[in-house]
Structure 1
C-alpha cells in the first residue's frame, strides 16, 4: 500500500473516532438534560458531627425549594453552595450533579480549637478566629475558657470579633491552646481556663486543687516552664493540696499561696 494511501486511511480513521466521540458525548449530554433529580447524596470530608445529612436536606428544602423531580441541568448549584456556606458550622460546600441523576453535596465543617462559655452563651472559635455558636448535634472536645471574657459576642453570632482588641486577644488565646495541644502534656492535664476580672488567665488542672495564675496569654514557653518546675520540684516536697494558688505569671518567680 502506498504511503499516501496509508496516511489518508489513518486520517480518516482518526476523524471517524473523533466524530464518534462527539456523537456519544452529545447523546450523553442530551440524556443528562432529560434526567430529573432523583435525590441528594451528602458526603462529609471530616469526622465532626455538627451538621448531618438530614440537616443539609432541611436547609435545601427550606431555603432552596423543590429540586427532586426537577431537570438535573436546572438545579442551581451555585445557589445551593451559597446556602450551605452560610451555615455557621460549614466551612465549605461543593455541589455537583452526576449521570445517575443525583445532586451531590460535599461538606467540609469548621474545626474548632477552643470553646468559650458565658452564663447564657457559648461558642467556638476555629484556627482563623472565626466564631460560631455551639451546635445541638455535637460537642467538640476542645479546651473550655469561661469567666470574664473580653469578647462582646451576642447569642447566635458568627464571624470574627468586632473590635481589634478582641481580635488580638482571641489570636493570642488560639496561639495558647495550640501551644498546649502541641505539647500534649498540658492539653491533657489542664481541664479548663478561667478569665478573671483583671484579665488574668487561671489554669484549672484535672488533678489537684491548685489554681495556676497564668496572667495574660503571652510568654507561653516561660510560664509553662515555671509550671513544670512546680510539678517536678515543689510539689514532690510539699505534697498535694498544700497550696491553693500558684502564680507563674511573673518572670523568674513561682509564688505559692496556701
Structure 2
C-alpha cells in the first residue's frame, strides 16, 4: 500500500470516529433534553456543629415560591442559572451550583458563609465573617458564634450585605469626589479674586497731572485731586468689600471640605475599630478557655472616641471591663492570673466589676 493511500485511510478512520462521537453526544443531548426531572436534592455542604444559616426546607420553599420549573419539567426547561441567582441573592450563601444528572435528578449544592461574630447592637442584627463580609442574620438562623451587643455602631448600614472594606472604600471615594466638586465651586471665586486684584493694581496706578497747557489754576488742580481721592476711596471700599465677599465664599466652601475630611477620618477610624473587633473575637475563638468563658461582648464608644468593650463571663456575677482593644494578650494574661490567684480565694461573687483597662493592674469594685 502506498504511503499517500495509507494516510488517506487513517484520516478517514479518524474522521469517522470523530463523527461518531459528535453524533453520540448530540443523541445523548437530545435524549437528556427529552427526559423529565424526576426529583430534587438540596445539599448544604458546610453545615457544622456551629449550626446553620440555611436549611434544605428553606431552599425548597424559595424555589417553589419563585415559580421556577423543577420536578416534572423537561431538563431543557429548567432554568439552572435562575435557580443559582435566586439562592445566591441571599448574602449568607457564598456559592451555589445547580445541575441535572443523567438520572434526571436536579441537584442544588450550597455553601454557606462561616460567620465569625454576630452583631446585635443598636439597630444592627447581622453576621460578619472572618474576611469582613457582612450580611443580615436570617430569621431562622441558629449559629453558635460570639455575640456583640451594646451601643457600638459598625462602619456600614444595618441593611448592607457584602465586604465591609468595599463599602468603606466606596464611601471614601464618594467623599473624595465631593471634595473635588467643592474645589471646583471655588473657581468662580478665584476668578473674581484675580479680577479684584487687577482692579486694585489699576487703582494704585491712577495718577493726576496738572494741565499746564490749559493754564489750569492751582485751585482747579486741587479740586480735581480731591475728586480723584474721593473716587479712589469709593473704589477702595468697593474692592475691599469684594475681597471680603470672595474670601467668605472661599472660606465657606473650605469649611464644607473640612467637614467632608472629618467624615473621612471618622469613617476610617470606625473601620479600624471594626477590624480590631474582628481580630479580638478571633483571638477569643482561638483560646479554648476564653471561648467558653466569655458569653457576651458589650461594645461601646468611650467619650474619647475609642472603641471599648466589656465582657460578660460565664463564671461569677461580675462584668469584666476590658477597655480598648489594645495589648489584648497581656490583658488576658493578667485576667487569667487574677482568676487563679484572686477569685479562687476571694470568691466569684465578691465583686461587681473587674477591670483590666489600666496597664499592669487589675482593679475590682464591689
Alignment of 1:62-101 (within 5 A): 62-63=65-66, 65-101=68-104
Partner secondary structure for residue 200 of structure 1: strand
Instruction: Give the equivalent residue in structure 2 for 1:189.
Output: 293
Alpha-carbon distance in 1 for matches of 2:162, 2:24:
48
1:88-133 CA-to-partner distances (Å, cap 9, x unmatched) read: 2211111222222233211001111111213565221111222222
Larger Rg: 1 or 2?
2
Alpha-carbon distance in 2 for matches of 1:38, 1:115:
40
Instruction: Give the equivalent residue in structure 2 for 1:138.
Output: 141
Are 1:203 and 2:307 counterparts? no
Shift of 1:193: 1.1
The answer to whether the Cα contact below 8 Å between 1:113 and 1:125 also exists between their aligned partners in 2 is: yes
TM-score, normalising length from structure 1?
0.84
Alpha-carbon distance in 2 for matches of 1:168, 1:40:
45
1:131-173 CA-to-partner distances (Å, cap 9, x unmatched) read: 2222232311111111111226665543344544443322211
Alpha-carbon distance in 2 for matches of 1:16, 1:157:
58
Q: 1:196 to 1:170 in 2, by over 3 A?
A: closer
1:23-67 CA-to-partner distances (Å, cap 9, x unmatched) read: 432321121122233343211111143222232233233446334
Mean CA deviation greater in 158-167 or 108-117: 158-167
Alignment of 1:23-102 (within 5 A): 23-47=23-47, 48-63=51-66, 65-102=68-105
Alignment of 1:93-242 (within 5 A): 93-118=96-121, 121-151=124-154, 156-161=159-164, 162=167, 163-198=267-302, 199-242=307-350
Q: 1:164 to 1:79 in 2, by over 3 A?
A: farther
Between the two proteins, the alignment pairs up a number of residues equal to 257
Partner secondary structure for residue 46 of structure 1: coil
The answer to whether the Cα contact below 8 Å between 1:160 and 1:167 also exists between their aligned partners in 2 is: no
Alpha-carbon distance in 2 for matches of 1:225, 1:127:
24
Mean CA deviation greater in 229-238 or 154-163: 154-163
Alpha-carbon distance in 2 for matches of 1:60, 1:250:
55
Partner secondary structure for residue 188 of structure 1: helix
The answer to whether the Cα contact below 8 Å between 2:35 and 2:75 also exists between their aligned partners in 1 is: yes
Mean CA deviation greater in 14-23 or 204-213: 14-23
Gaps in structure 2 of 5+ consecutive residues? 168-266
Q: 1:151 to 1:222 in 2, by over 3 A?
A: same
More strand by share: 1
Partner secondary structure for residue 243 of structure 1: coil
Partner secondary structure for residue 143 of structure 2: coil
Are 1:244 and 2:358 counterparts? no
Partner secondary structure for residue 221 of structure 1: helix
More helix by share: 2
Partner secondary structure for residue 350 of structure 2: coil
Q: 1:18 to 1:160 in 2, by over 3 A?
A: closer
Give the aligned CA root-mean-square deviation in angstroms. Answer: 3.0
TM-score, normalising length from structure 2?
0.61
The answer to whether the Cα contact below 8 Å between 1:64 and 1:80 also exists between their aligned partners in 2 is: no
